[in-house]
Amino acid sequence: MLDSHVRKINRSLVYGWLLIVTILFVSYALEVVKRERTITYLLVFSFVTVAPAILVLILYLRKPDSYPLRYEIVVGYFIMYVFVMITGSTPLVFCYILPMLSLLILYHQPGIILFTGIASMLVNIISIALRIYNGEVTSHNSKEVEIQLALLFLCFLGSYLATRLYDQIHKKNEEYTSMLTERNDEIQRMTMQTIMTIANTIDAKDEYTRGHSRRVAEYSAAIAEELGFTHEEIQDIRFIGLLHDIGKIGIPDAVLNKPGRLTDEEYEVMKGHTTVGAEILKDIDMISGLDVGARYHHERYDGKGYPDGLSGEKIPMIARIIAVADAYDAMSSNRVYRRHLSKDKVLAELKKGVGTQWDARCAEAMIRLLTEDRLPNINPDTDSELVQQTSTILTRVIDYAEDKAVDGKENLDALTGTYGRDSGIEAIQNAISKHGGGCIFLFDIDRFHRINDSEGFVVGDLYLKAMVQMIRSLSDQLIIARFGSDEFAAYIPEVEDEEAAAELSKVFFAHMQDTIDHDPTISKMSVSIGITEVATEKDKVMVLYENASKALYVSKQKGGNTYYCHRMDEIEDTYSAATHAVDMEQLIEAIQNKEFYKGGLTAAYPEFGKMYEFISSLADRNHQQVQIILFTMVSNTGIKVSIEERDRVMALLQKAIVDSIRNIDITTRYSSTQHAVLLMNLNEDDTKAVINRIMTEFLRTYDKREITIHYDTADLSKSDDIH
């Protein structure tokens, strides 16, 4: 960075000086044409000024970042200035120093300005003295001399002060730049050492490949240098080479260290280290292409490699380089199944694979390096003490992470590998707090109990695994948890609205149909999906789950194999009796199934059922009725209502209900836009009277007319009676 700064200053000084010399040369040449000067004067001027300027230009072109070049420019310019002052036909030639001052300020060296100023003042004083001696200065024109000296003094003084200020700023910038460079170098060094430690940890899994990643990294760097890559690109390739086998962390030791030939199944497991490695590295963008080296270093140029069967130029260049380096180290090192090959045999294999197994340029570069004995000599035992310390720390971190992973397995569903209900709620809640948007999808297999009854639990497990696999294919970022026997909740942060959720649901059903077409075992698969939006990072998982459950219920009422979206952040703009009837049916079904906890008079929704259970038991013993009312907010204008306004209206509705019902009745907020009320021992007329009191009280306190309250009623002794 400093060299670049010096180069820019030198360029400005050289071009500025050349411009001034050119202007003077043209001016004097015109004076020669007009016979105001002689050709001899022009030749002397050219010798004194033009020749040094051209010489400095040549020096600049040879070494543009030369620091001493600035002094050579100052000397050359000053010689030109003295010559012009002595030979000038007017005292105004002293002004020729001013363009130089504007250039000298760029030097940010006050000493040069001071020296040049003193020398310039002396030259001008000598010039004035000669003019006085020759009688050119009289009392009538002495004012010009005073102006000349005053102007020179002020210009040099101002330039000196400006340069001092600029020099201080420049020094602080240099110190800061130097500090940043040192920090950057330290970060790069620590990065290299950390990655080396990770690579050593990988190699430690295979007792026969100690130092393999380090050697592949250095061989890859050597090939890249042979191919003309830049220093930065070579360093990146070295990092990528160190981590190309990181996926082996997930390969069982029994497969890695097996002394004989691998079975087909074991070989498939071994090949998986490429995709596992790419998955580990895919989100690390500090070094471009980390996951590329891990995923594609076993691809072949002829397309017969793995995991994706890429061929030719479709294989990233980084992977082509690492593939050659990896193969060379494999052939030249002892392995569990054979001893290393001789140099001649390795060369023969490399030449044999040119253009088929390996890219020709990469393989030929390796052949040249090997033939000319220019491959680096790597000794893994020479790692610095800091690397060893980093290794110890990393080992502890890995051990801790593994312990946490073991602990975490208790919270995973053993069959599907998804989160369990409790751990899923925590994971989704954390993700919502981080992203603050997205959608919750609730997947449920239709008539799943019939599948278990008719085909057995083993087949039922296949259905569950298949559905989870299809859910996972929807997004790389989703979090999935098993909430029930066949019910799975998935949070997908990148799906931001109902339209996107609907499109993704269609993708799911298309994938499901394709899976069924290829796997008759799950031919009876039918899935219902309930969806709700996440409005803010403060939304609670269980509230969202309740909304998604309602949407899922609607989806099932439609016959299954479909989806339904529940709007959470806006009040419905039209009244749908069918939808609210479904809400009422779901509420009745839920509380009668006793899926609740203990509660009180104004109860939270999960506590509502226990209160219903108490009231209904009491009503049964006394042969009394229990009525349920579901109040729903509906927008009159069709305009989206803010969450704050929604909550304010719901609070007013709750107060109106509490003030209007008896002590033996209970109420709860059923959803973000609904309140439910249980009334005991009231007939239809009495129930209507209670509703009228509630609505009157609500309308008395609600000061706007953007929202209307609709209600549905049912007699819980006959749950199909919904009004």
Backbone φ and ψ for 394, nearest 5 degrees, come out as -65, -40
Q: Is the pLDDT of residue 4 over 70?
A: no
For the chain, residues classed under CATH 3.30.70.270 are 411-569, 578-715
Report how far residue 105's alpha carbon sits from residue 110's, in angstroms, rounded to the nearest whole number. Answer: 8
CATH class (in words) of the domain with range 204-378: mainly alpha
b/e code 528-549 from CB counts within 10 Å (16+ = b): bbbbbbbbeeebebebbbbbbb
The pLDDT confidence band at residue 395, using thresholds 50, 70 and 90, is very low
3-state secondary structure of 287: coil
Mean pLDDT, all residues of the chain: 77
Higher per-residue confidence, 393 vs 527: 527
| Among 159, 56, 33, 68, CA closest to 108 | 159
CA 141 to chain CA mean position, Å = 74
Q: Cβ distance 598 to 607 under 8 Å?
A: yes
Higher pLDDT pick, 636 / 485 = 485
Is residue 391 predicted with pLDDT exceeding 70? no
Is 226's pLDDT higher than 90?
yes
What value does the mean pLDDT take over residues 325-353? 82
Give the DSSP H/E element, type plus range, for residue 238.
helix 231-242
CATH of domain 411-569: 3.30.70.270
Please write the tens of the pLDDT for every residue from 79-136: 777 777 667 655 555 555 655 555 555 556 677 777 777 777 777 777 778 777 777 7
pLDDT band of residue 440 (cuts 50, 70, 90) is very high
pLDDT of 580 higher than 60? no
Please give the average per-residue pLDDT across 535-540, as a whole number.
80
Looking at mean pLDDT, say which of 151-165, 199-213, 641-655 comes out highest. Answer: 641-655
User: What CATH number is given for 578-715 in this structure?
Assistant: 3.30.70.270
Q: Is the pLDDT of residue 594 over 50?
A: no
Q: What is the pTM of this model?
A: 0.37
What pLDDT, on the 0 to 100 scale, is given for residue 679? 85
- CATH 1.10.3210.10, the chain: domain bounds: 204-378
What is the reported pLDDT for 223?
95
pLDDT of 570 = 43
pLDDT above 60 for 232: yes
Average pLDDT value for residue range 501-519:
91
